[in-house]
Homo-oligomer: A and B are copies of this chain.
Amino acid sequence: MATLLFVSAPAAVAVPEIDPFAVMNVVGLLAFAVAGALKAAEAGLDVFGVSVLGIVTALGGGTTRDVLVDRLPASLAGTWDMSVALVGVALAIVLIHSMEGRVRDHPAFLTTDAVGLSAFAATGALVGVDAGVTSFGVVILATITAVGGGSIADILIGRVPVVLRDDFYATPAVVGGLAFLAARAVGAPTGVPSGLCAAVVFSVRVLALRYDWRLPRV
């Protein structure tokens, strides 16, 4: 993946090359592993269930993304993703005892989850471009990668996925995907489209939570 991105990166770029995918990926994995594990602990699952849900939340979106574009999922091709997810789970097990009230309304949880959402939307968009999908496809992949892991986790514990319960959970990912496309359209250098995508997703998500945005009923 990294290689592919380097290849597709403009040779002219002066700044030392950082693989935007690798950065966004590790941030997303860590944030979602923590968020998933916290959600599982709140649901009263044991250590194993907490680990499973943390891992599923962290790896689920990216694995779905890779399956859709016919790549061997990063979670199987390397040990890195799984290791980061396990670190996140461990972190969550420490955190859980220091949190008060309903975890899923806790600012720490919501922020962590928003970070994962933002980073994974960016990885989805990057992989989409890399796989040569259409603009629609890029937005779809950004959204699926962002909300996929959490949705699978919610379904596993028998909950209606937050993507359907909260109007502004997937919407920020869609907007971020569009921002990514816009940045590319104007020829922004490597790293800028994904960075902008993540920033937009995060901002929209946090503002939506802060001001309790809702979409109209039909």
Q: Is residue A3 contacting chain B, with contact meaning CB distance below 8 A?
A: no
Do A46 and B217 touch across chains, with their CB atoms under 8 A apart?
yes
Q: Which of A63, A72, A218 has the most CB of B within 10 A?
A: A218
Residue of B whose beta carbon sits closest to that of A216: B47
Q: Is residue A146 contacting chain B, with contact meaning CB distance below 8 A?
A: no
Contact of A72 among B69, B163, B216 (CB under 8 A): B69
Q: Is residue A19 contacting chain B, with contact meaning CB distance below 8 A?
A: no
User: Would you list 29 pairs from A and B whose C-beta atoms are within 8 A, ordered by A residue?
Assistant: A46-B214, A46-B215, A46-B216, A47-B218, A48-B167, A48-B215, A49-B164, A49-B167, A52-B164, A63-B68, A67-B67, A67-B68, A68-B72, A68-B76, A70-B70, A70-B72, A72-B131, A76-B131, A76-B133, A76-B134, A76-B137, A77-B134, A78-B134, A82-B136, A83-B136, A93-B218, A155-B156, A156-B161, A158-B160
Do B134 and A48 touch across chains, with their CB atoms under 8 A apart?
no
Contact of A76 among B141, B167, B171 (CB under 8 A): B141
Do B218 and A134 touch across chains, with their CB atoms under 8 A apart?
no
Contact of A218 among B46, B52, B151 (CB under 8 A): B46
Q: Can you list the 3 inter-chain pairs with the closest CB atoms, starting with the nearest?
A: A76-B137, A76-B133, A46-B215
Residue of B whose beta carbon sits closest to that of A217: B46
Which residues of chain B have C-beta atoms less than 8 A from A82's C-beta? 136, 140
Do A72 and B218 touch across chains, with their CB atoms under 8 A apart?
no
Which residues of chain B have C-beta atoms less than 8 A from A160's C-beta? 156-158
Q: Is residue A135 contacting chain B, with contact meaning CB distance below 8 A?
A: yes
B-contact 0/1 string along A73-93, CB 8 Å cutoff:
101111100110000000001
B-contact 0/1 string along A123-147, CB 8 Å cutoff:
0000010010111110011000000
| Nearest chain B CB to A74 CB, angstrom units | 10
